Amino acid sequence: MATPALAQQTSAQVLQPDTMAARVAACTACHGAQGKAGADGYYPRLAGKPQDYLYHQLLNFRDGRRQYRPMAHLLAGLPDDYLREMAAFFSEQHVPYPAPPRAEASAAMLESGRRLALDGDAARGLPACASCHGASLSGVLPAIPGLLGLPRDYISAQIGSWKSGLRRAAAPDCMADISHTLTPADIAALAAWLSSRPIAEPYAPAAADSLRLPAECGSQAQR
């Protein structure tokens, strides 16, 4: 085991100014080493997410389209190229996913979530999550994230943020449109089912243009 003096010396070496380790130290303090996700389930995984998706979220926090004051404070004044390099770093991190927690939900709720995620609801004009996020829900390059490996409460909170306008994206904001169609029961079912799904490695975004999106999304076109 390293002595305290050696550990302090090593830490000082790692966090030299103008290194990527120093640049992302504030990120990993909450989002975990390599961006593997925070231990409390509130801070989502960054590791392995599409670079453009991560970059857009940094821009959205910095520019006020996504509301969370600590993130806005950390990113205030940082230039686009600086944020793009941070996004590239986390997109290249590959950390195994933990096993999902047992779903505390009825079979009927889980089945409702499964149908919405994989089939959608044509009667309401509601596309399946898989129609944008890929058949394995692992995301699609360049900017659509995977949906598995996220905590249940986090999924519910993010859909709620789209619905309330606390979270926005470049127009046309397809997720905002979809969230307004979802009922509270829909959101609860989706969060329960998605958060309970096991992940088969390698879990990586599908290739760009591997599917045709059911709606135009500004964040996917924004580069």
Binding-site residues for heme c sit at 27, 30-31, 71, 129, 132-133, 175
Report the binding-site residues: 27, 30-31, 71, 129, 132-133, 175
Q: Output the six-digit token pair for 3.
A: 């002595």
Q: Which residues of 153-180 are buried (b: 16+ CB within 10 A; e: fewer)?
A: ebbbebbbbbbeeebbbbeebbbbebbe
Query: CB under 8 Å to 184, separation ≥6 — which residues?
Result: none
The pair of three-digit structure tokens given for residue 28, joined into one six-digit string: 């990993």
Q: Which residues are within 8 A (CB) of 63 and not within 5 positions of it... i.e. 6 or more apart?
A: none
- Tokens matching residue 217: 């999304």
